[in-house]
Structure 1
Amino acid sequence: MEKPEFEPQILANRQGASFWLVRGNTTVECIVTIAAPETHFWLEPRAGDARILRIFRDGYSRIRAIAERKLLPHSCALLELAPDDFERP
């Protein structure tokens, strides 16, 4: 299982978790809204920080793949992933 390059952090407003992707010599901050793991990774509503981070780590390979795919058409310093980004066609 892949590990994040930098440990994920719960946002101060508890609306998501942030992590960093390294692409070449650029670092991109990525935010996964809390609604995404609640919708697609079986995170229960009002879960504690430890549970949120565990679900994030368990789903990191998929989260990272989606973040990298979303970054392909353009580069940016901040990328947000919402539930729609995890929908399968």
Structure 2
Amino acid sequence: MEALDLEPQISANRRGVTFVLAGKKGAVECMIVRAALEACFWLPGDADDARMLKTFHDGVHRIHAVAHRKLLAHPSTRLELTTTDFSRG
């Protein structure tokens, strides 16, 4: 699985950052929730959209790796990454 070249975006409800991964069965819509960025990637609670996207980009390799593992375990066309996904050993 590889990341497509679509730019990540702030979700419409500002709840997280959305991005797309290419899977064996096509594109998978993914979102990492803001709470996970705050807890696991040091995003300040009062951060604006630009800072949220920068934090996503700074952690993109780890985020994609966790998304990939979650998709292998639970195939889906939509995926939401939460703090729990990053705290598992």
* Separation (CA, whole Å) in 2 of partners of 1:81 and 1:15: 12
- In terms of fraction of residues, the more helix-rich structure is 2
TM-score w.r.t. the length of structure 1 is 0.90
How many residues get paired? 88
1:41-80 alignment, distance < 5 Å: 41-80=41-80
Partner of 2:11: 11
* Separation (CA, whole Å) in 2 of partners of 1:4 and 1:59: 16
- In structure 2, stretches of 5+ residues that fail to align are none
* Cα deviation code 1:26-85 (max 9, x no counterpart): 100001000001001010002111100000001000000000000002321100000010
User: What root-mean-square deviation, in Å, do the aligned CA atoms of Structure 1 and Structure 2 show?
Assistant: 1.7
Q: Structure 1's 77 and 25: CA in aligned 2 closer, same or farther, altered over 3 A? A: closer
TM-score w.r.t. the length of structure 2 is 0.90
- The percentage of counterpart residues that share the same residue type is 48
The amino acid across from 1:81 in the alignment is L
